[in-house]
Structure 1
Amino acid sequence: MTERGTEMADAAAGMRAIVTELSDQFFERADVVRALAVSVLAGQHSLILGPPGTAKSELGRELTSRFEGARYWEVLLSKFTDPKRLFGPVDVAALTRGEYTQVFAGRATEAHIAFVDEIFKCSAGALNEMLAFLNERLYHPENGGDPIPCPLVSAITASNELPSTEELAAVYDRLLVRLEVGYLTDPSNFAKLVRSAVTAAAPTTRTTVSLDELQHAVSVEVPAVDVPDGIVDAVCQLRAELRRKELVMSDRRWKQSIRLLQASAWLDGRTEVTDRDLEVLRHVLWDSTTQRPTVERAVLMLVNPDAREALDLLDAIEELEAELNAKVGQSTESLSDWAVKEANGKLARAGKRLDVMIADAQTAGRSVETLERVARRRKAVHARIMVEALGVDASMVQV
């Protein structure tokens, strides 16, 4: 392997280490962390969507801080945000000399990596400049001079809600990867979160990747990953399936999604896209949150032979959680009776079946990502039932 090839292999290993570290640091966010990393490696932008207090900003900052030597820019938008605050204020000293120029240092104009919080609160005045910044990597200066190229590699954005106007929908369309997050569901993870508030965390390894390694991966290494004809056929088949469900995405979004597949393969250390990389499309091909389950099922059933049964098990697991939610206010005896006679047995059988399916998939060399995700969901729901219906101490739950 050449020296440069060794460096890039090290960069991929570094990115995998970052994904692992952040997945351990942020409970129930492993899938989100990996998708964000893939988005950065593809040179695309992402959205973390969820209610307040779900660590959206903390996760975005932590990932974007892992690129050593990269100029980082962060902003919290509001409907009153002045474009000059984003891209550079007027140079007052120059203004006194009759010159109208802007100071770009420390602003979006010079950033390699950006984190934009409350992206859909973007002011009307800043909207066009934000669109050009995200899409063309350009800024049109206030004095009307030539557009200024911006070195932006990727932006991570966050919001509590989806856009409500057509103007903001244009910004939304620039965010290729869309990730919906919620509050922690597993009581044992919640107990760890509470404990972390009173107990200082032990020092952890903090892997970084250099700006040079990141830029070379985005511009050279990732685009060089091979996309076999079978993958192209699968994407065409998926598009047809979603159109039958009246879910239509733009040609631009489909084209951009291919780079995500290449980035997913590169992150895993592969030189060719495989079926397992198609799973990242779950985070790309929906507009409203009501569409997301339909897209997820279509993607997974296309690429994973285990998906149909796994998703059926997931539906059954979530039905049990819905039953638990509906029993709020019932007596302890009623909850305990339901948990012992019905819920625990169903969840135990689902767990055993998932264990078998995971073992079979590993033996056959198939991806177990979906199966493990359903297994984690089963564990979280089972833990809720143990705590809320049977009164087990959350920190002692093992299911």
Structure 2
Amino acid sequence: MQKLLTAINQGVYEKDTELGLSLLAALAGESVLLLGPPGVAKSMVARRLKAAFKEAKAFEYLMSRFSTPDEIFGPISINRLKEFDKYERAVEGYLPTASVVFLDEIWKAGPAIQNSLLTAINEKIYRNGDSEIKLPLKLLIAASNELPAHGEGLEALWDRFLLRIICTCVQDEDTFHSMLLDDNDKEIIVPAELQISEEEYVEWRKQIGQIAVPTDILQYITNVRRQLKRLPLDDEDTARSIYVSDRRWKNIVQLLKASAFINGRTEVNSADLLPLYHCLWNEADECAPIHQLVLRELFTSCLEEMEEITESIKADIRISRVRQALEDFKNNTSPKNDLEITDYFYYHIEEHGTGHTYIFAVDYLALKEQKRENSPRQALIYPDPLNPGRSIIRCYPGTGPSSVPQQRVNLYREGTEFLLIDGVRYPMTQKKKGAKSVSAANKEPQIFDNTPRITTRDYRNELNQLSQRLLSLTNTLCTDNIFVPQADKELVSRFSDEVRKKLRNVEIEEEKLQFNLQQYGGTDQKEV
């Protein structure tokens, strides 16, 4: 198949996407619309596709508003009308007998032609008189330099074209120069051993139907379908809902199966999904956002796993910092301190609120005395997320937990006996006579059920595995599908690099966590 694609691309410049996807559409039994200005080789694509099949018949026609069904499906057979009183067409040499059909300016066709095309494209059937003809049609390529006008009843015909490809002039300057200097206008000859025979085509269509579609591919399609209901566009403030019919989704799966089969696989994989964006847009301004959506969604599982690991690492870093503050507090607390400590983190403030207000011990000891030269310390009072019946005072540089109500206050300390909250003095709970301080007890504190603990996850190993998954996915997307053009492979590589940069930031966070743990006693949860 790769050699066949190379053969039909001879002498054609920057049309690998159109030729490759048209061949894929033919093998999947689907039709293609080429949208672009005149002179960009749209008709040549159809002629080249004819050369891909052995003994293929072709039909080509330029539509106009004056075109009649006789010109497309054949004239009325006078003999049949005279001898048998049957209104039938002489179809030989017209669309009903062709394997590859090219219809230019498709939207200019009249209703009679369009209605007949609906069943010809979808069911591969044409009704001739009182009988139905099973069409040998493998591929119908339509072309236009404009989209179908709204409100003219063209929606059904538009929906029949599964692949919609935007054709442009040659973009690369060197390629443009090569095209200008190429004087070979002869018809190409594809070696017979590369052409697809009728027997092969029929057998391949059967085998394509047996290709498996894994659950993760179905989930990907579901995610894309859900996001198409609210697709943000660059030039619009609100999201747009993109309509894709159930018939199109079903035909898309057939296209994915054909891609997997031609690429030598027994099931669809992520590489088959890359051309999907050609099947989903309805307006030209939707192409780029849908292209980004299709590409971004391929990396969603990696990004979601990375986000989960990141949140877990950040949570462990926060706990390790509390642990660090706790160790500093243990090492710096004076034995003469007579304050009673609760849960090994807090001092109790008597007579404040409901009587269940606590302040972090390290914050309390860092407060200044109320003197003219000293500024108060700003703090927050908020409900303890782990114990709703308790209020916590914490000296934060910014804000506290966003999910709970907060009260800002100014704090001073008066010796180790009182706390001044906005100028009001509250006594601190003192140790009972004869009780030992934690530092004097010379033993590890009790671990309370609501004390946060550092996880025992091997983040480094998880990140290494995620990195390997990302590398494997990128390689798959860039190598496992001969129908993916080089431009799409470059986009995949750039997007993969962006994800890898994010992964490196997570690795840096993991290194911070490891440093904190090494500084303060390793990862044993019992030491928290």
Taking the aligned partners of 1:82 and 1:203, their CA distance within structure 2 comes to 32
* Aligned residue in 1 for 2:101: 114
Q: Match for 1:266: what amino acid?
A: F
Structure 1 position 153, deviation (Å) = 2.5
Alpha-carbon deviation of 1:223? 1.2
8 Å CA contact 2:60, 2:102 repeated in 1: yes
Alpha-carbon separation, structure 2, partners of 1:160 and 1:372: 25
Question: Does the Cα contact within 8 Å between 2:51 and 2:189 map onto a contact in 1?
Answer: no
Q: Give matches, 1:142-161, under 5 Å.
A: 143=129, 145-161=130-146
Partner of 2:475: 365
Counting only pairs closer than 5 Å after superposition, residues 298-309 of structure 1 correspond to structure 2 as 298-304=293-299
> What is the rounded CA distance, in whole Å, between the counterparts of 2:489 and 2:280 in structure 1?
24
Q: CA deviation at 1:171?
A: 1.3
Q: How does 1:98-247 map to 2 (within 5 A)?
A: 99-100=85-86, 101-141=88-128, 143=129, 145-165=130-150, 166-197=152-183, 206=191, 207-218=194-205, 220-245=206-231, 246-247=241-242
Q: 2-side partners of 1:362 and 1:233: how far apart?
A: 20
- 1:315-326, aligned counterparts within 5 Å? none
Does residue 277 in structure 1 map to residue 272 in structure 2?
A: yes
- Picking from 282, 286, 289, the partner of 2:284 is 289
Paired AA for residue 97 in structure 2: E
Instruction: For 2:153 and 2:208, locate their aligned partners in 1 and report how far apart those are by CA, in whole Å.
Output: 32
CA positional deviation for 1:182: 0.6
| SS of aligned partner of 2:60 | strand
Q: Could you tell me which amino acid in structure 1 is paired with residue 15 of structure 2? A: R
Distance change (3 Å), C-alpha of 1:76 and 1:264: same
1:50/1:361 Cα in 2 relative to 1: closer, same or farther (>3 Å)? farther
Mean CA deviation greater in 256-265 or 205-214: 205-214
Amino acid at match of 1:157: A
After TM superposition, give the deviation of residue 74 of structure 1 in Å. Answer: 2.2
Aligned to 2:48: 62
* 1:72–1:113 CA contact under 8 A, matched in 2: yes
Provide structure 1 residue ranges, at least 5 long, that are not aligned to the other structure: 1-14, 309-359, 378-399
Do 1:16 and 1:268's aligned partners in 2 also have CA atoms closer than 8 Å? no
Q: Which residues in structure 2 correspond to 1:5-154 (within 5 Å)?
A: 15-23=1-9, 25-97=11-83, 99-100=85-86, 101-141=88-128, 143=129, 145-154=130-139
Q: Which amino acid aligns with 1:158?
A: A
* Aligned-CA RMSD value: 2.9
Cα-to-partner distance string for 1:2-43 (whole Å, 9 max, x where unaligned): xxxxxxxxxxxxx33222233453222222222112111110
Amino acid at match of 1:281: L
2:203 alignment partner, SS class: helix
Distance 1:284 1:27, change over 3 A: same
Q: Distance in 1 between matches of 2:220 and 2:60?
A: 38
Relative contact order, higher structure (CA 8 A, sep 6+): 1
1:351-384 Cα shifts (integer Å, max 9, x gaps): xxxxxxxxx957963322779416879xxxxxxx
- Write the distance in 1 (CA, Å) between the matches of 2:244 and 2:115: 23
Q: Secondary structure at the match of 2:285?
A: coil
CA distance in 2, matches of 1:187, 1:53: 17
Identity value in percent: 30
Decide which structure has greater strand share.
Answer: 2
Change (3 A) 1:364 1:244: closer
Alignment partners' CA distance in 1, 2:6 and 2:472: 20
Q: Which amino acid aligns with 1:294?
A: P
Superposition deviation, residue 304 in structure 1: 4.5
Calculate the TM-score normalised by the size of structure 2: 0.54
Unaligned runs of 5+ in 2: 232-240, 304-469, 492-528
C-alpha separation in 1, matches of 2:178 and 2:490? 16
Q: Per the alignment, in what secondary structure is the counterpart of residue 477 of structure 2? A: coil
Distance 1:205 1:39 in 2: 19
CA change 1:71–1:130 in 2 (3 A) is same
Equivalent residue number for residue 343 of structure 1 = none
SS at match of 2:131: coil
Asked whether 1:264 is paired with 2:251, we answer no
Which of the two has greater helix per residue? 1
Question: In structure 1, what is the Cα distance between the partners aligned to 2:73 and 2:96?
Answer: 5
- The one-letter code matched in structure 2 to 1:170 is A
Q: Is the 8 A contact 1:222 1:262 kept in 2?
A: yes
For 2:20 and 2:14, how far apart are their aligned partners in 1? Answer: 12
SS at match of 1:365: helix
Q: Distance in 2 between matches of 1:243 and 1:79?
A: 35
Structure 1 residues 159 and 86, CA gap change in structure 2 (3 angstroms)? same
Deviation digits for residues 176-229 of structure 1, max 9, x if unmatched?
0010011111110110000013x67898764321122123212x0211111111
Query: 2:217, 2:269 within 8 Å by CA — same for their partners in 1?
Result: yes
**SS of equivalent residue, structure 1 residue 68:** coil
**Shift in Å, 1:305:** 7.2
Specify whether residues 364 and 243 from structure 1 end up closer, same or farther in structure 2 by C-alpha distance, changes over 3 A only.
Answer: closer
One-letter code aligned to 1:82 = T
The Cα of 1:264 is off from its aligned counterpart by 1.0
Tell me the TM-score normalised to structure 1 length.
Answer: 0.70
Are the aligned partners of 2:213 and 2:268 in contact in 1 as well (CA < 8 Å)? yes
Q: Partners of 2:187 and 2:247 in 1: how far apart? A: 45
Residue 94 of structure 1 deviates from its aligned partner by 3.9
